[in-house]
Amino acid sequence: MDHRVWPLLSLLVAVCSGNPILFGEITSPKYPQGYPNDAYQSWNISVPKGFGIKLYFLHLDIEPSQDCEYDFVQVLIKDEVKGKFCGRRIDGSSPTSPLYEQYYPTNNLRLEFTSDFSNEERYTGFSLYYIAEDLDECEESSETYCSHFCNNHIGGYFCSCPPGYFLQADNHTCGVNCSGNLYTDLRGQIHSPGFPSFYPENSLCDYKVRLIPGYQVVITFQAKDYDIETGRDGKCTYDILTIQAGEHTHGPFCGRSPPARIETGSNQVDILFQTDSGGENKGWLINYSEDAIPCDHRIFERSQLSPAKDKYVFKDTITVTCIEGYEFVIRKRNVPSIQSYCRGDGTWSVTEPKCQLVDCGAPSEISNGRPTFSKTTFRSTATYSCVSEYYQIVLPASGDGTFRCSSKGLWVDKNGNQELPKCTPVCGTFNSAASSGGRIFGGKRATLGKLPWLIAFVSPNRGAGALISERWVMTAAHVVQESDQPEMFGGLINLPTRTDANLLKAKKVIIHPKWVIEPLDKRVNFDNDIALIQLCSKVQLGPNISPVCLSSGTSPGFDDSGYIAGWGRTEKRHVSGHLMFTAIPLQKMEKCQEIVTEKKYTFSSNMLCAGDGAGNDSCEGDSGGPLTFLDHNNNEKMYVAGIVSWGVECGKYGVYTKVENYLDWIKETIDKVESEEGEGTGSDCR
């Protein structure tokens, strides 16, 4: 049978059998008439994937030319010319010519016909059939890739693998089944597929090692058991071994020099081995073993661990204590220690908080004083000083005045005590200008600040008193026996104007318990004529107001000169509006007894006699004021020895309450009151 008939019969059989084979006929313009000049026409031929296209030329009559330059029909695949035809080959001529039929291994092509502007003869063009013909994808010239076996079928192909291999997800590559291996023994060996023979290509192996918590996987290699293909640049670009331990990756590894011992730090390890399509290497063998996962104790900075060990492993429990000067702070509370245990993954159950430097905070304030410091942390120092020269620092018995921030967060002195110094008033500050002669009864005017302890009593009785501390005034009992709220002023010299005066408010008036209260005009017994007044608030000491000392440790001698001052009556029989002062000697009691003609007045050992008998004396309105002496043994301080009490004639001698006899009562009274209510620094009177 003529070969030109057989394709047509094949097409008919395919169509009749219902197979989806495409075919068709294409002819040149006006065929079988002569084709026109300057003609162009194209046809797109498409068949299903897995098929190629075969062309059968039944008629070919196109103007011949060198390389088909004038008129031609050509085949293009992706705009690339794959065949170009011209010349005269009509039915029955050259039946074996290779141009008579042509096969193209593609399912898409384009056919184009082109003629120029003239033809010397009449040419009828071409006539052809095309048909879809099965494509053999497994031919060596095919672009199809199968790593092992290629199997062709009508309309397509498939890859297959030899025994022991499986087709991977790309449906082209064969690999060995080397994943899913699980190792749970504490020790063992793992090797690449086929070891020590060549390992297979195109494989991805995953070996899983899973040990019980608390152990890490340790991997070791030997050089004789290690051979993995390396890229030409020496990098692991072809076959790769990696070890995945938790979030940490070791590798990639390749070549002939194995890695050093690997402590993975995890009880769960994946050994991954990936190969490409080439190479002949024997692979690897590893030994794995267990080791207790250590917990890094170095993370506990500035601390001590108990019990102390070089290495802590799973389930070890420790007590963490900060070193001296450091502490834990949890929710603003100081915590001496924390506990933590080593977990199976090599981490500690508790790592926070961290030890931080102890902070003692600002040193405590003291009344009339202040601390000086630059830092408040461990071993910082602070020193105390008073706010002015009118106060003096008094240190605790064992202290040196310097406090240090201790490891316990407390400010302590050199002996570890917390007792703070105190700023106590400087008493008896004496200005030598006050020693000038003169008389109260016709005496000399005092200037402001010369006698800063003098307190003026305005009502209910005119009188005076002495400031003996920041919050206590001493006076005569008969001055305050009629009122528990006497009107008092301190730090002044001019009583009518009261310029720059401090109004002092009494909280409590305490009269000596043995003082007998009776009207002054009928009084003949002034024994125990002494009283104390607690002020509502502490007096801020300064140049115009400060206390007098209570005692000197010695008693004044007869003929020793003391000083009296006040706003009482002068020799001109009027009350002075300005503070007056004078010096008078201490006398024996007989001097005062001589001028008392009436024997009804009482004299006792609680009294002193003073005056010069020549006009220097206290008088009415000076009651309660202090009789002061210089303490030559105590830095020239002034101390009070007597309180103006009574007399029968101004200008001669006066009787004073002997303060020395009441020192114990004064101290006990003040201590009792202040211990009962606390030592307040501010006003507590309504």
Q: Are 657 and 476 in contact (CB under 8 A)?
A: yes
Domains and CATH numbers, the chain: 5-134 (2.60.120.290), 178-292 (2.60.120.290), 295-357 (2.10.70.10), 369-425 (2.10.70.10), 432-675 (2.40.10.10)
Asked whether the predicted pLDDT for residue 572 surpasses 70, the reply is: no
What is the reported pLDDT for 403?
Answer: 94
Q: Indicate if 483 belongs to the active site.
A: no
pLDDT in tens, 107-129: 999 999 999 988 878 899 999 99
Catalytic residue among 127, 623, 631, 645: 623
**pLDDT score for 232:** 85
Question: What is the spatial distance between Cα 534 and Cα 469, in angstroms, rounded to a whole number?
Answer: 10
Residue whose tokens read 């400010």: 411
Show the 3-state SS of 110-179.
EEEEECCCCCCCCCCEEEEEEEEEECCCCCCCCCCCCCCEEEEECCEEEEECCCCEEECCCCCCEEECCE
Q: What value does the mean pLDDT take over residues 598-602?
A: 82
pLDDT class of 140 with cuts at 50, 70, 90: low
| 366-385 per-position pLDDT tens digit | 989 999 999 999 999 999 99
Tell me how far apart the alpha carbons of residues 384 and 401 are, in angstroms, rounded to a whole number: 7
> Is 191 considered catalytic here?
no
Can you give 162-218 as a three-state secondary structure string? CCCEEECCCCCCEEECCEEEEECCCCEEEECCCCCCCCCCCCEEEEEEECCCCEEEE
The predicted model scores a pTM of 0.57
> Of these residues, 225, 529, 612, 631, which one is catalytic?
529
pLDDT of residue 673: 94
Measure the CA–CA gap between 102 and 84, rounded to whole angstroms.
11
Quickly tell me which residue has 């993954």 as its tokens: 345
- Residue 324 · residue 408 · CB < 8 Å: no
pLDDT over 70 for what percent of the chain? 90
Q: What is the DSSP string of 69-91?
A: -SSEEEEEETTEEEEEE-EEE-T
Residues 6+ positions from 467 with CB-CB distance below 8 Å:
452, 453, 454, 455, 473, 490, 539, 545, 546, 547, 548
Q: Is 662 helix (H, G, I), strand (E, B) or coil?
A: helix
Binding-site positions for Ca(2+) read 63, 71, 116, 118, 134, 137, 152, 156, 229, 239, 276
User: Is 623 known to be catalytic?
Assistant: yes
Task: Return d(Cα 509, Cα 331) in angstroms, integer.
Answer: 50
Of the residues 478, 527, 546, 617, only one is catalytic, namely 478
